Each structure stands twice: as C-alpha cells, then as structure tokens.
Amino acid sequence: MQQAIANVAVNVEIPLQKTSFASGAHWNFYLVPVHCEGIYFTAPIIFSALRAMERERELKLQNMQEGTSVTLSLRSVSDRTRAFIGEYGERGELVLKAALKRAQELDLEGRPKLGDFDFKGVKKKLLEWGVRYNPSQLLRRLEREYAIIETSYKSSTQHWWIFYDRNEVERALGSERLYEVEDFEIKLILAQYNVLKPARLLSELKGLSAKKALAPRDFERLRQLLFNDVEEAAKLAKKMEAFPDYFEREREVLTEIIELAYCASKRIA
C-alpha cells in the first residue's frame, strides 16, 4: 500500500509535507495529502520514493543552473541566501525571516501542513512587525532566481513553499540584524478586540435575535448593547479596514455582531 501511494505521489506530483522527528534533524519521511473515495488523509512515502524525488529536485536545480541566472552558480544555500540579502537588502532579509518565523510557528503547532510556510502566514508576520508591502515578488525571486525555496502546494487560495535547506538559511541569517518593527496600532486594535469579548457578544445577540418579540427587559439590554459594545464594535471594524489582510477574520466576527444587533432590533414589539 505504501509503495503504491509513493509511486502515485512521485508520478502526479501531489503536494508534499516534510516531517522530522527532532528539531534540526534530517527529514525522515514525507507526508502526502491523498484523496481516496471522497476522503482526504496523509500518508508516509517510503524511502525509495523519497530518493527519487530528491534526485528529481537535483535535476531541476541543475537545469536552473544551466540557464541565465548567475546566482545559481553559488552551490550552497547559505551563499545564495547572502547573495539575495545583498541584492534586496532589508526587505529581502525581512521576508526571509518572516518565512522562517512562520515555519517555526507551524512546527510548534504540530498540525498537518502543506509545506514549511505559506504566503498568508508570511504576509501576516510582516504586518505584525509593522512592514506593509506585498512579499509575493521577493518570494518569487527566492524560488526562481535563487533556489532557496520551492513551491510545495499552490491553489487559487493558497501558496506553500519548502526550504531547500532551512538550516543553511538560518545559518546565513544568524549574524544578520533582526528587523522586528513593532506596530503599536495593530497591537492596540488587537487589545481592544480582545477586551470587547466578541464571543460573549455574539452569543447574547444570537439569543436576542432568535426571539419572536423582545420583552421589556430584553429591549433594555439590547439598547444598552447598541449604544455601548456594538457601537464600539462598529468603530473597531472601521479601524481594521486599514489592515484588511491582517484582520480579515476579526472583521468578519465584528460584522456578524452588527448584523445580529440589527436583526434583534427588528424584534422590538
């Protein structure tokens, strides 16, 4: 069964997830998402298939080196990483460090994943550091011009990459400055969102909006919410419009709070 899965994985190039038993150790096997009779699951690829994929990667890198890119004449990943930072400076370094940080966070979560890091995670990490630019162009150069990362999965909504050698990238960045710019506006908005207790608000407003008609006591409670917590939720949602990628999920919650409050207001007898 494993051999069959491995052969399918190599031939159809389904997305891979590399897994290690210990931090810093060599990756021991690949997990591949498998679709069978409507069920998705992950399965390990045995080592013969792994060697075949590693050879395929070597050939791909060799073909890239034979092209026009001078950068790929640098054999080690650490050398290519330093060349990339030399070319793109602080922005290039920040994108690499955001990718590494995202990869470390995903390792700690321990959940199934489709690569070392994803585009949305890198962009969100940059926003946390107060960096507001789209990293897509630099990620493309990291892959196509410098062969530091490689696409492991791509769809209309997701893009995941794996590092050719994460340890080499970390080593190259080890002596560099860490640019972690704190964005206090984002932190303030997050703090206000947490203090608002949106889960409690949602629960209470769902209960009020589900009633056919509001009793006098319910009306007073709704009035209290509308001119306090719900009004604050609307102001907060407006602030979040300045950071659409970072606060996407939170804005959806606040929008639902406002919709439920409106729905409850129509239950006034």
Q: What is the pLDDT of residues 89-126, one digit of tens each?
A: 888 989 999 999 898 888 877 777 899 999 999 999 99
Structure-block tokens of residue 151: 């696409």
Q: Report the SS3 class of residue 204.
A: helix
Structure-block tokens of residue 142: 């990291």
Model confidence pLDDT, tens digit, residues 130-149? 888 899 999 999 999 999 99
Structure-block tokens of residue 68: 């026009």
Same-domain status, 177 and 217: no
Reference 9, options 29, 37, 38; nearest CA is 29
Domain endpoint, select from 182, 200, 220: 182
Does position 236 have pLDDT exceeding 60, yes or no? yes
Taking CA 246 as the corner, what is the angle to CA 242 and CA 248, rounded to the nearest 5 degrees? 90
Out of 14-23, 36-45, 193-202, pick the least confident.
14-23
Structure-block tokens of residue 135: 């990293």
What pLDDT was estimated at residue 47? 39
Mean pLDDT value across residues 43-63: 50
Number of C-alpha atoms within 13 angstroms, CB side, residue 6?
A: 15
Domain count, the chain: 3
Give residue 37's domain range. Answer: 1-64
Count of C-beta atoms within a 10 Å radius of residue 113: 23
Q: Work out the burial of residue 57: count CB atoms within 10 Å of its CB; fewer than 13 is exposed, 13-18 middle, 19 or more buried.
A: middle
Mean pLDDT value across residues 174-184: 49
Same-domain status, 210 and 228: yes
> Looking at this protein, which amino acid is placed at residue 110?
G
Same-domain status, 178 and 194: no
Same-domain status, 238 and 256: yes
Structure-block tokens of residue 180: 């972690």
pLDDT band at 233 (very low <50, low <70, confident <90, very high): very high
Same-domain status, 244 and 211: yes
pTM (2 d.p.):
0.46
Does position 8 have pLDDT exceeding 50, yes or no? no
Same-domain status, 193 and 261: yes
Same-domain status, 50 and 109: no
Structure-block tokens of residue 213: 């008609």
Most confident of 29-43, 67-81, 134-148, 188-202: 134-148
Element (H, E) at 191: helix 184-196
